[in-house]
């Protein structure tokens, strides 16, 4: 496809307005159908048996009693799934995580599953399955797992990326390194150096909708899967590959999705549901309980990070270094690598070095969570940057402005930046009234910056024009927060028609070409590019049809404001044809009018944000209260500003929860102790103030409208912004996230006792 993605600086009529979303009424009336809201005839209920041990060899599983229970239609274990032992390692891990083959690797790891005629019988059947475990020593802490004496989780893993090939297996799967210059030289030039270690605990995406699917496999090898996912095409590929189905015969329909934030980018129970259906010969509905969601679906990494930053008296950073250790769960990942890349991305550094270590632990497989790995690295770096500014006697914002990356700066992760927004967000924060508002006793203000790459990827869109001139837009990126409204605006903009003439839907995998997931802040960025391309292709056809209707050469027809116009004085008496006029005649001018596009949306512009927050601390109890919060972020171009604000506010709220109260708590037995919303404490309505937003628009040169992804960056600064605010309120540097009241009170007491 010859599609020119370059930014043109056009004036907008639809983009940038705030119309009502097309799925609004369904969602306020309870009609919208989510993962668990769908049923099929003859459907069975699937339930999964999970390991109560953090680490154990599965010696044998006896399912015979469960199979004999009346109402049970299928029981499966890993033996009923393909054995990928000598195949693709990544696919092996995905399947092993869905159903443990030889060892249970974490508390909650699936070991068997049943399908029965109702939930009660299914639960009863699980109790009849006898698993003989040989319990092994376990390790759940990231630092302990790196210790030489730690129990080995996978004895076939030898650390990659070391200069010398290791001779012993290790829980460290990979070492990665980024940076440039010479940090030793840089630190030698510094007048002030701050060096600190930080820890962050594991958090969960905390979507309110548990994973849910309905799977139906037919004897002829065709299958249907209804599922809440961020990427139904990816689920199709994975499920087909894992179960030996042909991808095009497995139709995956994405339901409305009740939150994902990265956690619904991986298959968990879907291969199990398909396998149960195949064995039972009936559709199977499998819905996780909240307990299962926490114990067995994707949390983020727990981390341990060392940071060292040096600067000269005038406030110039001379060197920056970080070592980052990230937990991956029991399977290899690249989480520390992302942390190592993003850690210093906000700054213009002559000498910088980051090293990441990927660490296996007996916890659930780490999954992406909104700008995965970046918030923890930003917490450590932005805390140290604040401390350094303090030591230098410089204002924290001015210090960052002085060292901020700009166009032409070599990023700490390698390449040189194009036009970027870190400087403008800092300037906006400096001038924001929030920075000047007075603080009361026990209150502190903090600010911090954040970076995220943003991604693009494979994208496909169909745009169909009905004979009445209405337009349907079929996209393949799942709508997680209003993208159907944004993409309708883009189509309306390009076609020159009114938003109300359009309706956007998310098409299933059999109706549209492949699309990557809605992840990496790519949904609106990528699908808007494909929508523009599809609309332009449709316009070509519309011009051609108008030319036919007028019987003039198509080159003389231009498209303006939703109309075909005959160009040139000789056509003076031809009045413009609207899209509707042309559509009405389409049956006799060549048939249906549609615009299709398939493309790789590359060139997603990087994204920066700076946040400000005020926190009040009760010095007697360590209780915190968020008094005020402001988000400033570059959107490139805000297609639907209300939903951009929503992304900013939602990310900030998740970051606030992470900073203050959310954490996975494991007992000495390696079992998760807080697998529910009661003790995994996400922010409630009364915990938060209004979250003010300021949208900056520094156009992305690689998108026709200048759009950048906006979904993820907003979760990056809050951990550090809040840590800086708490530290400023109480005068003690907080180095362990979450800053729960017991941790704050302990830090205060330690300080008081001197």
Binders of another protein among residues 713 to 752 (CB under 8 A) are: 740-742, 745-746, 749
CA distance 520 to 262: 8
Compare residues 80 and 160 and give the one whose CB is closer to another protein.
Answer: 160
Mapping DSSP onto H, E and C, the string for 559-615 reads EECCEEEECCHHHCCCCCEEHHHHHHCHHHHCCCEEEEEEEEECCCCCEEEEEEEEE
Q: In the range 316-345, which residues lie near another protein by CB under 8 A?
A: 334, 337-338, 341
**Residue 668: how many other CB atoms lie within 10 Å:** 7
Query: Is residue 303 close enough to count as binding another protein by CB under 8 A?
Result: no
Scanning 262-372, the segments in alpha helix (DSSP H) are: 270-280, 290-296, 335-342
The nearest distance, CB 509 to another protein, in angstroms, is 19
Helices 396-403 and 422-430 sit at what angle, rounded to 10 degrees? 160
Q: In the range 350-379, which residues lie near another protein by CB under 8 A?
A: 368-372
Q: How is residue 82 written in tokens? A: 């393909």
The nearest distance, CB 337 to another protein, in angstroms, is 6
- Exactly one of 206, 271, 364, 444 binds another protein (CB under 8 A); that residue is 206
The nearest distance, CB 318 to another protein, in angstroms, is 21
Residue 340 · residue 378 · CB < 8 Å: no
- Exactly one of 108, 476, 650, 717 binds another protein (CB under 8 A); that residue is 650
CA distance 320 to 349: 7
Number of H helices and E strands in the chain, helices first, is: 21, 27
- Exactly one of 92, 104, 712, 721 binds another protein (CB under 8 A); that residue is 712
Query: Is residue 27 close enough to count as binding another protein by CB under 8 A?
Result: yes
Compare residues 72 and 579 and give the one whose CB is closer to another protein.
Answer: 72
- Exactly one of 622, 670, 699, 706 binds another protein (CB under 8 A); that residue is 622
Residue 704 · residue 8 · CB < 8 Å: yes
Compare residues 315 and 372 and give the one whose CB is closer to another protein.
Answer: 372
- Chain mean position to CA 289: 22
CA distance 149 to 135: 18
Compare residues 192 and 369 and give the one whose CB is closer to another protein.
Answer: 369
Query: Is residue 289 close enough to count as binding another protein by CB under 8 A?
Result: yes
Strands 563-566 and 577-578: antiparallel
- Exactly one of 82, 161, 496, 513 binds another protein (CB under 8 A); that residue is 161
CA distance 719 to 741: 15
The nearest distance, CB 314 to another protein, in angstroms, is 28
The nearest distance, CB 324 to another protein, in angstroms, is 13
What is residue 642's DSSP assignment?
Answer: H
Compare residues 481 and 595 and give the one whose CB is closer to another protein.
Answer: 481
Question: Which residues, 6 or more positions from 79, have their beta carbon under 8 angstroms from its beta carbon?
Answer: none
Region from 131-139, 376-384, 429-437, 641-649 binding another protein, contact rule CB under 8 A: 641-649
- Chain mean position to CA 722: 22
- Exactly one of 205, 327, 589, 607 binds another protein (CB under 8 A); that residue is 205
Query: Is residue 21 close enough to count as binding another protein by CB under 8 A?
Result: yes
Query: Is residue 7 close enough to count as binding another protein by CB under 8 A?
Result: no
Residue 503 · residue 22 · CB < 8 Å: yes
Query: Is residue 646 close enough to count as binding another protein by CB under 8 A?
Result: yes
Binding mask 109-148 for another protein (x = CB under 8 A): -----------x--x-------------------------
Query: Is residue 702 close enough to count as binding another protein by CB under 8 A?
Result: yes
Q: In the range 558-597, which residues lie near another protein by CB under 8 A?
A: none
Compare residues 23 and 462 and give the one whose CB is closer to another protein.
Answer: 23
- Exactly one of 155, 314, 620, 753 binds another protein (CB under 8 A); that residue is 620
Burial 339-374 (b: 16+ CB within 10 A, else e): bbbbbbbbbbbbbbbbbbbbbbbbbbbbbbbbbbbb
Mapping DSSP onto H, E and C, the string for 213-274 reads EEEEECCCCCEEEEECCCCHHHHHHHHHHHHCCCHHHEEEEECECCCCCCCCCCCCCHHHHH
Query: Is residue 451 close enough to count as binding another protein by CB under 8 A?
Result: no
Q: In the range 29-58, which residues lie near another protein by CB under 8 A?
A: 29-34, 36-37
- Exactly one of 62, 291, 398, 556 binds another protein (CB under 8 A); that residue is 291
Query: Is residue 315 close enough to count as binding another protein by CB under 8 A?
Result: no
Query: Is residue 634 close enough to count as binding another protein by CB under 8 A?
Result: no
Compare residues 5 and 496 and give the one whose CB is closer to another protein.
Answer: 5
The nearest distance, CB 347 to another protein, in angstroms, is 15
Compare residues 200 and 458 and give the one whose CB is closer to another protein.
Answer: 458
Query: Is residue 678 close enough to count as binding another protein by CB under 8 A?
Result: yes
The nearest distance, CB 546 to another protein, in angstroms, is 33
Strands 557-560 and 691-696: unpaired
Q: In the range 241-260, which residues lie near another protein by CB under 8 A?
A: 256-260
Binding mask 61-100 for another protein (x = CB under 8 A): ----------------------------------------
Strands across the sheet containing 502-506: 502-506, 471-475, 457-465, 593-601
Q: Measuring CA to CA, how many Å separate 388 from each of 185, 600, 686?
A: 19, 42, 34
- Exactly one of 7, 187, 399, 455 binds another protein (CB under 8 A); that residue is 455
Region from 15-23, 56-64, 213-221, 385-393 binding another protein, contact rule CB under 8 A: 15-23
- Exactly one of 92, 233, 261, 347 binds another protein (CB under 8 A); that residue is 261
The nearest distance, CB 422 to another protein, in angstroms, is 13
Compute φ and ψ for 383, nearest 5 degrees.
-65, -45
What is residue 508's DSSP assignment?
Answer: -
The nearest distance, CB 268 to another protein, in angstroms, is 16
- Exactly one of 1, 10, 24, 567 binds another protein (CB under 8 A); that residue is 24
Question: Which residues, 6 or more positions from 613, have their beta carbon under 8 angstroms from its beta carbon?
Answer: 445, 446, 447, 626, 627, 628, 629, 630, 656, 718, 721, 722, 725
Q: How is residue 734 written in tokens? A: 């907080």
- Exactly one of 109, 175, 308, 628 binds another protein (CB under 8 A); that residue is 175
CA distance 91 to 106: 19
Query: Is residue 708 close enough to count as binding another protein by CB under 8 A?
Result: no
Region from 76-84, 139-147, 175-183, 311-319 binding another protein, contact rule CB under 8 A: 175-183
Longest dimension (CA), the chain: 92
Compare residues 192 and 335 and give the one whose CB is closer to another protein.
Answer: 335
What is residue 302's DSSP assignment?
Answer: -
Compare residues 207 and 235 and give the one whose CB is closer to another protein.
Answer: 207
The nearest distance, CB 205 to another protein, in angstroms, is 8
User: How many residues sit in the footprint of another protein (CB under 8 A)?
Assistant: 125
Q: In the range 599-618, which residues lie near another protein by CB under 8 A?
A: 600, 602-606
Question: Which residues, 6 or more positions from 214, have their beta carbon under 8 angstroms from its beta carbon?
Answer: 38, 39, 40, 43, 224, 225, 226, 227, 273, 283, 284, 285, 286
Q: In the range 512-531, which residues lie near another protein by CB under 8 A?
A: 519-522
Compare residues 259 and 496 and give the one whose CB is closer to another protein.
Answer: 259
Residue 490 · residue 595 · CB < 8 Å: no
Q: In the range 405-434, which residues lie near another protein by CB under 8 A?
A: 411, 413-418
Strands 72-76 and 110-116: antiparallel
End-to-end CA distance of the chain: 68
Q: In the range 462-481, which residues lie near another protein by CB under 8 A?
A: 480-481
């Amino acid at each position: 496809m010859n599609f020119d993605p370059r930014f043109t600086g056009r004036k907008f009529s639809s983009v940038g307005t705030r119309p009502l979303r097309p799925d609004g009424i369904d969602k306020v009336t309870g009609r919208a159908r989510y993962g668990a809201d769908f049923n099929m005839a003859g459907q069975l209920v699937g339930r999964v048996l999970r390991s109560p041990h953090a680490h154990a060899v599965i010696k044998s599983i006896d399912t015979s009693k469960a199979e004999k229970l009346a109402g049970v239609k299928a029981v499966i274990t890993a033996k009923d799934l393909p054995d990928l032992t000598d195949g693709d390692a990544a696919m092996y891990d995905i399947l092993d995580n869905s159903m443990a083959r030889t060892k249970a690797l974490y508390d909650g790891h699936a070991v068997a599953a049943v399908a029965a005629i109702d939930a009660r019988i299914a639960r009863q059947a699980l109790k009849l399955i006898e698993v003989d475990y040989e319990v092994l020593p376990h390790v759940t802490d990231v630092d302990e797992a790196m210790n030489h004496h730690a129990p080995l989780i996978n004895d076939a893993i030898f650390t990659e990326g070391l200069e010398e090939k290791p001779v012993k297996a290790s829980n460290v799967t990979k070492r990665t390194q980024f940076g440039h210059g010479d940090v030793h030289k840089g630190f030698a030039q510094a007048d002030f150096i701050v060096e600190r270690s930080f820890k962050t605990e594991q958090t969960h995406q905390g979507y309110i909708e548990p994973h849910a699917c309905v799977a139906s496999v037919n004897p002829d090898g065709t299958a249907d899967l209804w599922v809440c996912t961020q990427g139904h095409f990816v689920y199709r590929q994975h499920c087909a590959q894992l179960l030996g189905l042909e991808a095009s015969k497995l139709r995956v329909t994405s339901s409305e999705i009740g939150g994902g934030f990265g956690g619904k980018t991986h298959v968990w129970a879907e291969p199990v549901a398909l396998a149960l259906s195949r064995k039972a010969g009936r559709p199977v509905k499998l819905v996780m309980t909240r307990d299962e969601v926490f114990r067995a679906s994707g949390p983020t990494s727990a981390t341990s990070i060392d940071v060292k930053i040096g600067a000269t008296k005038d406030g110039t950073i001379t060197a920056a270094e970080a070592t980052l250790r990230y937990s991956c769960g029991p399977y290899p990942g690249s989480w520390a690598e992302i942390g190592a890349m993003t850690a210093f991305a906000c700054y213009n550094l002559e000498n910088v070095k980051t090293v990441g270590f990927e660490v296996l632990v007996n916890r659930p497989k780490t999954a992406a969570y909104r700008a995965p790995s970046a918030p923890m690295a930003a917490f450590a770096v932005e805390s140290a940057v604040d401390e350094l500014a303090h030591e230098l006697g410089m204002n924290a914002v001015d210090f960052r402005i002085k060292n901020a990356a700009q166009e032409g700066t070599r990023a700490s992760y390698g390449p040189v930046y194009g036009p970027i927004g870190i400087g403008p967000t800092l300037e906006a924060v400096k001038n924001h009234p929030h920075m000047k508002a007075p603080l009361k006793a026990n209150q502190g203000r903090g600010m911090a910056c954040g970076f995220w790459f943003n991604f693009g990827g494979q994208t496909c869109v169909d745009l169909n024009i009905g004979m009445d001139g209405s337009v349907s837009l079929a996209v393949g990126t799942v709508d997680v927060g209003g993208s159907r409204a944004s993409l309708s605006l883009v189509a309306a903009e390009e076609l020159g028609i009114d938003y109300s003439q359009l309706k956007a839907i998310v098409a299933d995998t059999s109706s549209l070409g492949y699309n990557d997931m809605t992840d990496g802040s790519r949904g609106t960025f990528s699908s808007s590019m494909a929508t523009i391309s599809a609309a332009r292709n449709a316009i070509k056809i519309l011009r051609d049809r108008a030319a036919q209707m007028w019987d003039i050469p198509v080159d003389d027809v231009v498209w303006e404001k939703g109309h075909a116009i005959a160009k040139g004085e000789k056509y003076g008496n031809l009045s413009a044809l609207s899209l509707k006029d042309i559509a009405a005649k389409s049956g006799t001018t060549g048939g249906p009018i549609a615009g299709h596009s398939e493309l790789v949306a590359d060139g997603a512009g990087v994204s920066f944000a700076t946040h400000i927050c005020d926190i009040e601390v009760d010095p007697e109890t360590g209780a915190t209260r968020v008094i005020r919060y402001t988000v400033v972020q570059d959107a490139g171009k805000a297609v639907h500003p209300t939903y951009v604000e929503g992304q900013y506010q939602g990310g900030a709220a998740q970051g606030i929860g992470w900073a203050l109260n959310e954490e996975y708590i494991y007992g000495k037995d390696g079992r998760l102790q807080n697998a529910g919303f009661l003790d995994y404490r996400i922010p409630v309505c009364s915990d938060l103030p209004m979250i003010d937003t300021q949208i900056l628009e520094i156009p992305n040169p690689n998108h026709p409208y200048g759009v950048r992804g906006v979904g993820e960056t907003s979760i990056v600064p809050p951990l550090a912004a809040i840590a800086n605010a708490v530290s400023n309120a109480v005068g003690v540097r907080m180095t362990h996230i979450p800053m729960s009241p017991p941790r704050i009170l302990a830090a205060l007491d330690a300080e008081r006792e001197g």
